[in-house]
Amino acid sequence: MEGFLRLGLSSWLIDQCSQLGILKPSSVQENCIPPILEGRDCMGCAKTGSGKTAAFVLPILQKLSDDPFGIFCLVLTPTRELAYQIAEQFRVLGKPLGLKDCIIVGGMDMVAQALELSRKPHIVIATPGRLADHIRSSNTFSIKKIRFLVLDEADRLLEQGCTDFTQDLQVILEAVPAQRQTLLFSATLTDTLQELKTVAMNKPFFWESISEVKTVEQLDQRYILVPEKVKDAYLVYLIQKFQDEHEDWSIMIFTNTCKTCQILNMMLREFSFPSVALHSMMKQKQRFAALAKFKSSVFKILIATDVAARGLDIPTVQVVINHNTPGLPKIYIHRVGRTARAGRNGMAITLVTQYDIHLVHAIEGQINLKLEEFKVKEKDVLKILTQVNVTRRECEIKLECTDFDEKKEINKRKQLILEGKDPDLEAKRKAELEKIKKQKKKFKEHIQETMQKKRDAQVQRKRKKKHLREKKKKAAQ
């Protein structure tokens, strides 16, 4: 308690913290809260699960209590689920203030959101795409007077990944005042440091947790080298093993595509495992329902794409399984950070095929730690191999009978339209590119074939010459 008092927080906030079991400031809180209270911009880079959210929620609530008005603070975050999680911390810690918050994310009713925004909530927590839509289409609210702008998972918001937020961010940054406090937090800030400095312009206070290893100590990090074709059998084997040995454990499985996520979920359910899927092709209500069921331990297994890789705080998660080796070390760090949070233990197991070994080396280089092998009795896995592969094939066929691929196509078209592109023109361009690629491939194959023929003819000629020489030799004898 004294710790928080020393940081300059008011006693009502310290009481709220203690009700949540937050008794002593974590180091990101210890280091970032005082400069934020002093009015400085702040960039905080700390391991995932180390209390970053409270590091900005607490000082913002304190400042809000000094001068309450709406809209006081805008928090941007890359995923809808994280927006709800952050709002929850604001609500619980800000209860004595009668805090009014508003969540603005995609997949929800836009009219209801516009109405909420017009009621001047103290805090708005948003994903950039939907908020930018509101700014473009409505003049019933203003963020021109906000005191705080927070970018949670700031590097993700600024990088140009599969979802590119940069255009939406530009719209938002033009709508907020230049005079504001900007707070940027993530577990992986260093790659985008320069871009971040252009958002936090007032000589930000920069704090990074000093640690050689980029993941937490209590996390046991393992790998299993598996041939691609038996990966699913290993997955089923691992889940069965953990379920048999630890009834109360929850497991998160990460996959690289929505389709794999969907198929694996169907497959695990065929094996009577209590699993739910979470990916961006699901409707928003289904996404929330899936997460709620997993959080409340009604379902002990969550299969997700990287939409769930960052920030989610679910204390019961004991194991993270990477069904695919992440292509970027940064994604690995966020995925495995879903376990071993706030001082708890946890385990991460990455399934590595012969094609992914270089990726593991890159991960090990970045986190500064060697992954250890997770020993498995191969004989036991082979026993279930046929059954698993047949079940997976059946699930694939079932999925093909649904409109999953069609929906994917529609989503892609929607995305292109939102990016201001013509989907038909893009499809034409793609087809032309494919055609050129095919022609190139054919040409290459033709050259290779001709060269091979030449080589064969040469070998044939040499053989004939040798044969003739030997014949002559024999005749001379």
Q: Using CB under 6 A, list all residues that contact ligand AMP.
A: 20, 22, 24-26, 29, 49-54, 313, 341-342
Which residue's CB is nearer to ligand AMP, number 156 or number 341?
Answer: 341
Q: How far apart are CA 428 and CA 434, in angstroms?
A: 10
- For residue 92 the two structure tokens come to 């619980």
Q: Which is nearer to ligand AMP, 44 or 329 (CB)?
A: 44
Q: Least distance (Å) from ligand AMP to the CB of residue 185?
A: 9
Alpha-carbon gap, residue 8 to 31, rounded angstroms? 12
Nearest Cα neighbor of 183 from 323, 38, 338, 333 is 38
Query: By C-beta, is 26 or 127 nearer to ligand AMP?
Result: 26
CB of 21 to ligand AMP, least distance (A): 6
Instruction: Calculate the dihedral angle through the C-alpha atoms of 287, 292, 295, 299, rounding to the nearest 10 degrees.
Output: -80
The CB-of-44 to ligand AMP minimum distance in angstroms stands at 11
* CB atoms closer than 10 angstroms to residue 346: 22
Residue closest to ligand AMP, measured at CB: 51
Q: Please identify, using beta-carbon distances, which residue of 27 and 260 lies nearer to ligand AMP.
A: 27
Closest to ligand AMP by CB, 307 vs 395, is 307
CB of 30 to ligand AMP, least distance (A): 9
Nearer to ligand AMP, 323 or 341 (CB): 341
**Shortest Cβ 337–ligand AMP spacing (Å):** 9
CA distance 326 to 84: 26
C-alpha 230/C-alpha 62 separation (Å) is 54
Min dist CB 142 to ligand AMP, Å, is 29
- Closest by alpha carbon to 252, among 165, 323, 356, 199? 323
> What phi, psi does 297 have (nearest 5°)?
65, 15
Residues in the chain: 477
Lookup result for tokens 């040499």: 462
Q: How far is the CB of 175 from ligand AMP (least distance, A)?
A: 27
DSSP state of 359: H
Is 29 or 350 the residue whose CB approaches ligand AMP more closely?
A: 29
**Burial of residue 2, with CB atoms counted within 10 A of its CB: 0-12 exposed, 13-18 middle, 19 or more buried:** exposed
